[in-house]
A and B are shown apart, each in its own frame.
Chain A
């Protein structure tokens, strides 16, 4: 009963969050004036406006409008991009693979550099290696990604002419965007892994297994690291949010044709149907990702299977 209960509860919460996000976009859409004009543009003909009103049920009472809005979104109908009249969902869907490529590689870089660096720092606490890693992590977190991007372009494209400064023409064009998107998160992961490792190393069981004669490297691998993994996994959930924000900036700087660049150009052009589609897409991805992390947590840590006590 308890594990199922916890999982059901988490799923319900995720659905609730999605419902709030959709409702809030409805409120924003309605409070920004006539959505027909905001979405179709001021030069739309009265006939297209009337058709839009009818299609989105805007000629009916507010509660009905809300239901129609919801139904349209559930059917994947987000309206048309007024740039070329194609459905917003199609415009957005075309860009998804590029964003997945970039953020996938970014996440891979973060984990494959951040986790080993954090573990190494914790095992060498107080020594030079630890200081170097911590300083690097703080720098990675403090230098804004758009400045890092500019420094990379300045060095690798302008000075040494090694890499192109933008676009997605060849395989190696992804190198600089991937470094940019990964830098901040790598620092966060390294610091977090270091803290989690230090915490696990301080536990009495470490001394107990050592006293039983287990070699140090085995203690670290089989007892310390699994315990440090639990908080690190939750951290990855937070990092996904950072990846989305990173994609917005990185893709725009490097002209990488993904969703992040699309939302910036759409906001600048007021292509509201596309903006709205991306917002709902990102929100549902984030909610699903957080749900996955939560469930992973339940699986990793048996203590989480008990229902959470009500917070006062």
Chain B
């Protein structure tokens, strides 16, 4: 490429550079998954419907029929329907978890920045302690003591990574509240609640959203891992993790039950990581 060509870039070329193929594919895949999750309850065949005449039917390209495009399990449940239902549950739990974690962590971070003193010390001490222990151990302990209800499980998944939000929110709030406009709002008599929600939060939101995107694959993995271990989503609900765990018993006779959710899951975490890296790079001018 000549120097001239590099300087004068057409809009199309600039667009290609800004939207690498892999990132576009990642967005397409995530879009497909969201559509699948939305359509799951409207499917003609529920994943709990038995089709006893078509037990252990293989997927279409492996000798199966379009009637069960992705095959069936040993009692004739349709794998495609269960896959969509599982995508729906896994994505919803991960999304709810991320919202809970970011809200909880950000609130603690703001409280630490606002009150300083012992509140700050306690929050930072808890964040350090949390960072020192693998989260899956914390999650297992809470589940051991309090049981496996769906609501509690979502909260447990939500607690993942709260300390990164707390640290970020605290640091950014400390630097933002020193700025002139925040001081002006405070001098005008705004209550702390208003200052943090209306003036500090919009300024730190970008960083928190990037953090959430980068942490999202780990939240999906936490949910699916716990469900895989039988300690997360309980039947009759199905998650990608519990589907994989169920398919483990049929590796001899019906590999597709375990392999299909595994492929979907890997593509999801890969796509979200690609998008997360791309968003971070775009927002960080030092990396350009």
B141 interface residue, CB < 8 Å from A? Answer: yes
Tell me the minimal C-beta distance from B157 to chain A in angstroms: 14
CB contact list, B124-152 vs A, under 8 A: 125-126, 128-129, 132-137, 140-146
Tell me the minimal C-beta distance from B282 to chain A in angstroms: 19
Whether A263 touches B137, Cβ cut-off 8 Å, given contacts A142-B270, A150-B248, A268-B230, is yes
Tell me the minimal C-beta distance from A235 to chain B in angstroms: 14
Q: What is the bound-complex CA distance between A263 and B225, given in angstroms?
A: 14
CB contact list, B105-139 vs A, under 8 A: 125-126, 128-129, 132-137
Q: What is the bound-complex CA distance between A251 and B251, given in angstroms?
A: 18
Across the interface, which residues of B come within 8 angstroms of A13, CB to CB? Answer: 128
B265 interface residue, CB < 8 Å from A? Answer: yes
CB contact list, B216-266 vs A, under 8 A: 217, 221, 224-225, 228-231, 241, 244-245, 247-248, 251-252, 255, 258-259, 262, 265-266
A266 interface residue, CB < 8 Å from B? Answer: yes
Contact across chains for A32 and B146 when beta carbons are under 8 A apart: yes
Across the interface, which residues of A come within 8 angstroms of B72, CB to CB? Answer: none
Contact across chains for A143 and B146 when beta carbons are under 8 A apart: no
Tell me the minimal C-beta distance from A200 to chain B in angstroms: 18
Contact across chains for B134 and A245 when beta carbons are under 8 A apart: yes
Closest to B245 in A: A146
Contact across chains for B145 and A272 when beta carbons are under 8 A apart: yes
Whether A20 touches B129, Cβ cut-off 8 Å, given contacts A151-B262, A268-B230, A268-B231, is yes
State which of A42-50, A106-114, A168-176, A280-288 sits at the interface with chain B. Answer: A280-288
Contact across chains for A28 and B137 when beta carbons are under 8 A apart: no
Q: What is the bound-complex CA distance between A28 and B145, given in angstroms?
A: 8
CB-contact partner of A154 in B125, B133, B217, B259, under 8 A: B259
- Compute the total of residue contacts between A and B using a CB distance below 8 Å: 127
Q: What is the bound-complex CA distance between A275 and B141, given in angstroms?
A: 7
Whether A264 touches B225, Cβ cut-off 8 Å, given contacts A154-B259, A312-B174, is no
B273 interface residue, CB < 8 Å from A? Answer: yes
Q: What is the bound-complex CA distance between A241 and B129, given in angstroms?
A: 13
Contact across chains for A245 and B270 when beta carbons are under 8 A apart: no
Across the interface, which residues of A come within 8 angstroms of B176, CB to CB? Answer: none
Closest to B255 in A: A154
CB contact list, A19-47 vs B, under 8 A: 20-21, 24-25, 28-29, 32, 38
Tell me the minimal C-beta distance from A131 to chain B in angstroms: 12
CB contact list, A195-253 vs B, under 8 A: 241-242, 244-245, 248-249, 252-253
Chain B interface, >50% SS class: helix
CB-contact partner of B128 in A17, A241, A267, A312, under 8 A: A17
Across the interface, which residues of A come within 8 angstroms of B211, CB to CB? Answer: none
Closest to B217 in A: A142
Tell me the minimal C-beta distance from A192 to chain B in angstroms: 14
B269 interface residue, CB < 8 Å from A? Answer: yes
Tell me the minimal C-beta distance from A202 to chain B in angstroms: 14
Across the interface, which residues of A come within 8 angstroms of B224, CB to CB? Answer: 144, 146
CB contact list, A96-153 vs B, under 8 A: 138-139, 141-147, 150-151, 153
Chain A interface, >50% SS class: helix
Contact across chains for A146 and B266 when beta carbons are under 8 A apart: no
Q: What is the bound-complex CA distance between A290 and B258, given in angstroms?
A: 37
Contact across chains for A143 and B129 when beta carbons are under 8 A apart: no
Whether A144 touches B142, Cβ cut-off 8 Å, given contacts A21-B129, A248-B136, A283-B132, is no
Whether A138 touches B144, Cβ cut-off 8 Å, given contacts A150-B259, A286-B134, is no
Contact across chains for A158 and B129 when beta carbons are under 8 A apart: no
A16 interface residue, CB < 8 Å from B? Answer: yes
Tell me the minimal C-beta distance from B119 to chain A in angstroms: 16
Tell me the minimal C-beta distance from B127 to chain A in angstroms: 10
A95 interface residue, CB < 8 Å from B? Answer: no
Contact across chains for A249 and B225 when beta carbons are under 8 A apart: yes
Tell me the minimal C-beta distance from A108 to chain B in angstroms: 20
Tell me the minimal C-beta distance from B202 to chain A in angstroms: 22
Q: 9 A–B contact pairs at CB < 8 A?
A: A16-B125, A17-B129, A141-B273, A249-B225, A268-B230, A282-B133, A283-B137, A286-B134, A312-B174
Known: A244-B134, A282-B133. 16 other contacts (CB 8 A): A16-B128, A32-B145, A142-B270, A146-B224, A147-B244, A150-B248, A154-B251, A248-B136, A253-B248, A264-B231, A266-B144, A267-B141, A267-B144, A278-B137, A283-B137, A286-B134
Taking Cβ atoms with an 8 Å cutoff, the residues of A that contact B are: 13, 16-17, 20-21, 24-25, 28-29, 32, 38, 138-139, 141-147, 150-151, 153-154, 157-158, 241-242, 244-245, 248-249, 252-253, 263-264, 266-268, 270, 272, 275-276, 278-279, 282-283, 286-287, 290, 312
Taking Cβ atoms with an 8 Å cutoff, the residues of B that contact A are: 125-126, 128-129, 132-137, 140-146, 174, 217, 221, 224-225, 228-231, 241, 244-245, 247-248, 251-252, 255, 258-259, 262, 265-266, 269-270, 273
